[in-house]
Amino acid sequence: MSWFILFIAGLFEVIWVIGLKYTQGFTRPFPSLIVIGALCISFLLLSWAMKTLPAGTAYAVWSGIGAVGAALVGMSLLGEAVTAGRVISLCLLIAGIAGLKYFTP
């Protein structure tokens, strides 16, 4: 269950990271509230997952999910460049995340 909670925490990280783009420096109230809410939920779920998962593993997986998710959203919805180097790098991140899950007792 901790891995599922950690995955959901990573998805909320993607929401707040992408949402930062729309806050315009926290000058727009509605996007700012969404970012703050998603940030709080993400941290809460991360802390719950850390009750049973090693801290280093949980943090690395959480930040990896956020990084991969933000990059994918940026490329698919925000018009960011899709290059072979970026795709290969994202695949390596995904492999690292999967490895951490697989090799964590």
Using pLDDT thresholds of 50, 70 and 90, give the confidence band for residue 56: very high
Q: What is the pLDDT of residue 61?
A: 95
Q: What is the pLDDT of residue 72?
A: 97
Per-residue pLDDT tens digits for 58-91: 999 999 999 999 999 999 999 999 999 999 999 9
Residue 65: count of CB within 10 angstroms of its CB: 23
* Domain that includes residue 37, residue range: 1-103
- Contact predicate 68/93, CB 8 Å: yes
Distance CA 12, CA 65 (A): 10
pTM: 0.90
- Contact predicate 62/40, CB 8 Å: no
Note every long-range contact of 21-26, with CB atoms under 8 Å and residues 24 or more positions apart, other chains counting.
21/78
DSSP string, 51-81: TTS-HHHHHHHHHHHHHHHHHHHHHHHS---
Note every long-range contact of 33-41, with CB atoms under 8 Å and residues 24 or more positions apart, other chains counting.
38/12, 38/13, 39/12, 41/9, 41/12
Number of structural domains the chain divides into: 1
